[in-house]
Amino acid sequence: MSMINLSPAQLRQAADLKEQIASLNQELTALFGGQASPDPLQPAKPAVAKKRGMSAAGKARIAAAQKLRWAKVHAAKAKPAPVAKPTPKPVAAKPAPKKGKISPEGMARIIAATKARWAKIRALKAAKKK
């Protein structure tokens, strides 16, 4: 049943009941010395989340640490040229392995085989054209 459909007598009765509830709530508050239960007809207030904060000292510690990190980065970039150190005695290096070389006879065989292969390919192409 909505409030629009209520008669004036019913509305007056509802208002009287609400006044009685409010007075009883006040009596409870006085009796217990604290806050009584909230009015059931009023909507409950949403709980407000407490904002987190950071102290000034905490912010200062973070800023100091960040400045120190950046100082290290910049110092690493701006390092002076290294001082020439005395060169240690050279250690006997292993001789490099010899590269394999193809002998002139081997190269001639490879060239002859390549020429023969291309001659064969050209011959097949010429046979297909005819």
- In this prediction, residue 20 carries a pLDDT of 94
| The pLDDT value given to residue 40 | 57
DSSP state for residue 43 in the 8-state scheme = P
The amino acid present at 47, given as its one-letter code, is A
Q: Which residues of 22-44 are buried (b: 16+ CB within 10 A; e: fewer)?
A: eeebeeeeeeeeeeeeeeeeeee
Task: List all residues 6 or more positions away from 37 whose beta carbon is below 8 Å from its beta carbon.
Answer: 25, 28
Provide the residue-wise pLDDT of the chain in tens; the chain has 130 residues: 576 788 888 888 988 999 999 999 988 888 887 655 555 556 667 777 788 889 999 999 999 999 999 999 888 887 666 667 776 676 777 887 888 889 999 999 999 999 999 999 999 999 998 7
Residue 88's Cβ-side half-sphere holds a number of Cα atoms within 13 Å equal to 3
Q: Does the predicted model carry a pTM greater than 0.75?
A: no
User: Residue 22, Cα to own-chain centre: how many angstroms?
Assistant: 54
Q: Where does 1-130 have alpha helices with state H?
A: 8-32, 56-77, 104-129
Choose among 13, 18, 8, 24: nearest CA to 42.
18
